[in-house]
């Protein structure tokens, strides 16, 4: 995926740091991230919109570890949050309220209030009912909440159904045909101030055309809304750009921007304030998960390679049948065997990779690649497994950014009966 995760001789490195050294020092499973890989992914977006009024709002659901948020905050990113918890994380990482936009179909009054107190840049509102509640909450604080409506452009993002969100018939956004009415309502409500429009059509999108289709539909709406005297100052394209897990060939972020900007210019919207909310494409290929081979279990139909990372650490294969490359930390010349790579959790769904050719022995180490996005942030404690430690590599330096969770951490809020 990136030049920042690479073999040097036979051994796998992240930047200048040998992964085997990190595994020895901090144990496994262990997430390791490259700071340079994140900044390089960010730079591709920034190159793409250079000279325009545009800003990136990192969708931290992809990876919300504080030090990672710090990396993006220091690089000038804003943040797309989806909960009060994410709001507190972003503020703790040093961002300001004005750097934050708030997406999500189910914001509570409490979350709205806290976000208004923090002075966030914009609420991405997903229903007419939410407009009413937000207006009430804002008016109660003597404020006018800045709002953008997430419209559902009804285009097919050509990705996995579980992560496609811009089609009719899913819970996200306001239907295209209802959007004008919703904008009229928003403009009339006392506690709201219309500032923009947004859409988000799905995730792991590997083609430009769905973005352009969505853009056309959104621009049609902008024209209609502004014709009614409601100015739209920003246009937000949502997130969703895919990464290479295996053999995909997604457009580079700067190429995506070129195509979007060309279309915006052609329709006379190129000088608007533009926003984008990428998650996966900023962090996905910046991270790996290092695991140790516990047992090899030959079988009649399948051989199993049982590792110490599991579906609680790396939930994407179990949830989406997602593919992650699995490679040895030390390349070997011995003949590979085909294994299903599985974890210790008591579920048949607990697999990390199927039919993988590996030359490994118990005690040796593997890296699950492309593990920077939607792995740690979706990790759980199922089977009372502590969530892994995380290390951020910066050149030859390695910073522990999260310690491994132990059982005491897990039971801290629990109470025994009297
Ligand atoms: N904006 C909104 C409103 C979103 O719902 C999402 C992701 C993003 C931005 C960021 O999308 P990205 O650039 O990361 O594709 N857990 C799934 C992915 C779920 C995506 C949810 N929404 C996975 O592991 O594939």
Interface predicted TM-score (ipTM): 0.99
Distance 338 CA to ligand 1 centre (A): 32
Q: What is the mean pLDDT of residues 86-106?
A: 98
Please identify, by atom number, the ligand 1 atom nearest to the C-alpha of residue 378: 16
Instruction: Pick the more confident residue, 205 or 163.
Output: 205
Q: What is the mean pLDDT of residues 265-290?
A: 98
> pLDDT tens digit string along 237-265?
999 999 999 999 999 999 999 999 999 99
Residue 156, pLDDT score? 77
Residue 162 predicted with pLDDT over 70: no
CATH 1.10.10.410 fits 104-276, yes or no: no
> pLDDT tens digit string along 357-397?
999 999 999 999 999 999 999 999 999 999 999 999 999 99
5-33+284-411 shares its CATH topology with 104-276 = no
Q: Cβ neighbours of residue 181 under 8 Å, at least 6 residues apart?
A: 128
Question: Is the CB–ligand 1 distance for residue 83 below 6 Å?
Answer: no
Domain ranges of the chain: 5-33+284-411, 104-276
Residues assigned a catalytic role:
346
Residue 142 annotated as binding? no
Atom 9 (ligand 1) nearest CA: 239
Please give the DSSP secondary-structure letter assigned to residue 206: -
Separation between Cα atoms, residue 181 and residue 404, nearest integer Å: 50
Nearest to 57 by CA among 99, 117, 106, 116: 99
144 to 88, 100, 135, 198, 299: CA distances (angstroms): 22, 16, 7, 19, 65
Distance 240 CA to ligand 1 centre (A): 6
Please identify, by atom number, the ligand 1 atom nearest to the C-alpha of residue 203: 15
Distance 144 CA to ligand 1 centre (A): 28
> pLDDT tens digit string along 6-51?
999 999 999 999 999 999 999 999 999 999 999 999 999 999 999 9
Classified by CATH at the fold level, domain 5-33+284-411 comes out as Lyase, Ornithine Decarboxylase; Chain A, domain 1 (2.40.37)
Nearest to 391 by CA among 30, 38, 17: 30
235 to 97, 163, 273, 366: CA distances (angstroms): 19, 22, 6, 43
Averaged pLDDT score across all residues of the chain: 96
Residue 279 annotated as binding? yes
User: What percentage of the chain carries pLDDT values higher than 70?
Assistant: 97
Residue among 68, 104, 240 whose CB has most ligand 1 atoms within 8 A, to mutate: 240
């Amino acid at each position: 995926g990136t030049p920042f995760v690479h073999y040097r001789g036979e051994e796998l490195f992240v930047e200048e740091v040998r992964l085997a050294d990190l595994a020895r020092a901090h144990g496994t499973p262990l997430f390791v991230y490259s700071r340079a890989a994140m900044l390089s992914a960010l730079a591709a977006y920034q190159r793409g919109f250079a000279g325009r009024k545009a800003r990136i709002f990192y969708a931290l659901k992809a990876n919300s570890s504080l030090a990672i948020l710090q990396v993006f905050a220091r690089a000038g990113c804003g943040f797309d949050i989806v909960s009060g918890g994410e709001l507190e994380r972003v503020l703790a990482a040093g961002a300001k309220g004005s750097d934050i936009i708030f997406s999500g179909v189910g914001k509570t009054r409490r979350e709205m209030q806290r976000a208004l107190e923090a002075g966030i840049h914009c609420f991405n509102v997903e229903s007419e009912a939410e407009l009413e509640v937000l207006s009430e909450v804002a008016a109660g604080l003597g404020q006018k909440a800045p709002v953008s409506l997430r419209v559902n452009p009804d285009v097919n993002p050509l990705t996995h159904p579980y992560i496609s969100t811009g089609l009719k018939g899913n819970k996200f956004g306001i239907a295209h045909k209802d959007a004008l009415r919703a904008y009229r309502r928003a403009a009339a409500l006392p506690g709201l101030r219309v500032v923009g429009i947004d859409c988000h059509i799905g995730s792991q999108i590997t083609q430009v055309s769905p973005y352009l289709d969505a853009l056309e539909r959104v621009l049609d709406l902008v024209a209609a809304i502004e014709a009614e005297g409601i100015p739209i100052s920003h246009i937000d394209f949502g997130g969703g750009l895919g990464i290479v897990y295996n053999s995909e060939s997604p457009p580079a972020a700067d190429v995506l921007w070129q195509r979007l900007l060309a279309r915006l210019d052609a329709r006379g919207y190129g000088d608007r304030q533009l926003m984008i909310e990428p998650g996966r494409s900023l962090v996905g290929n910046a991270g790996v998960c290092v695991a140790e081979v516990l047992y090899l279990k030959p079988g009649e139909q399948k051989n199993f390679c049982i590792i110490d990372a599991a579906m609680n650490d790396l939930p994407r294969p179990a949830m989406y049948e997602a593919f992650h490359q699995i490679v040895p930390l030390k390349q070997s010349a011995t003949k590979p065997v085909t294994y299903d790579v599985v974890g210790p959790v008591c579920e048949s769904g607990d697999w990390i990779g199927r039919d993988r050719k590996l030359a490994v022995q118990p005690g040796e180490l593997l890296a699950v690649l492309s593990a920077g996005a939607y792995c740690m942030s979706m990790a759980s404690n199922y089977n009372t497994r502590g969530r892994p430690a995380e290390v951020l590599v910066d050149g030859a330096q390695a910073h522990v950014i999260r310690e491994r969770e132990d059982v005491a951490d897990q039971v801290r809020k629990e109470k025994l009966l009297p």
